[in-house]
């Protein structure tokens, strides 16, 4: 309905170079969404209610009241269950080499 205002990350376009993939992002499952913040591809939205409000505006062209956003967030909280340990364990990374990026001091 409305373009997302932050276009600094072009999404899948970065990989495919297809114009039709510009601003296209993988959409994760809503299962355990309350535990997976921060939200959006760039992690810039901290609260679930804010993510709900923004998606209503950009995807549906609707302005939600605080009560409506809270109600939708409450429903999303009901989708929370136990997260399997294998899904949240640190990844096994390859050994560092000379060209491996290092954090700045």
pTM (2 d.p.): 0.69
Residue 77, domain extent: 29-82
47 lies in some domain: yes
Top-confidence range, 32-36, 40-44, 62-66, 84-88? 62-66
Torsion from C-alpha of 32, 38, 41, 45, nearest 10 degrees:
120
d(CA 30, CA 93): 27
Q: What is the DSSP letter of 12?
A: T
71 lies in some domain: yes
93 lies in some domain: no
pLDDT score at 105: 66
d(CA 64, CA 83): 30
Task: Express each pLDDT in 48-93 by its tens digit.
Answer: 999 999 999 999 999 999 999 999 999 999 999 987 888 888 988 8
H-assigned helices in the chain: 13-16, 48-55, 66-77, 85-88
46 lies in some domain: yes
Q: How many folded domains does the chain comprise?
A: 1
H-assigned helices in 24-65: 48-55
70 lies in some domain: yes
């Amino acid at each position: 309905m409305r373009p997302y205002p932050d276009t600094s990350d072009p999404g899948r376009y970065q990989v495919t170079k297809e114009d039709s993939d510009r601003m296209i992002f993988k959409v994760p499952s809503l299962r355990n969404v309350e535990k997976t913040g921060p939200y959006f591809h760039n992690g810039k939205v901290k609260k679930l209610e804010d993510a709900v409000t923004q998606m209503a505006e950009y995807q549906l062209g609707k302005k939600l009241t605080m009560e409506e956003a809270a109600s939708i967030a409450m429903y999303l909280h009901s989708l929370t269950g136990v997260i399997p340990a294998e899904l949240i364990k640190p990844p096994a990374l390859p050994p560092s080499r000379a060209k491996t990026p290092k954090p700045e001091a």
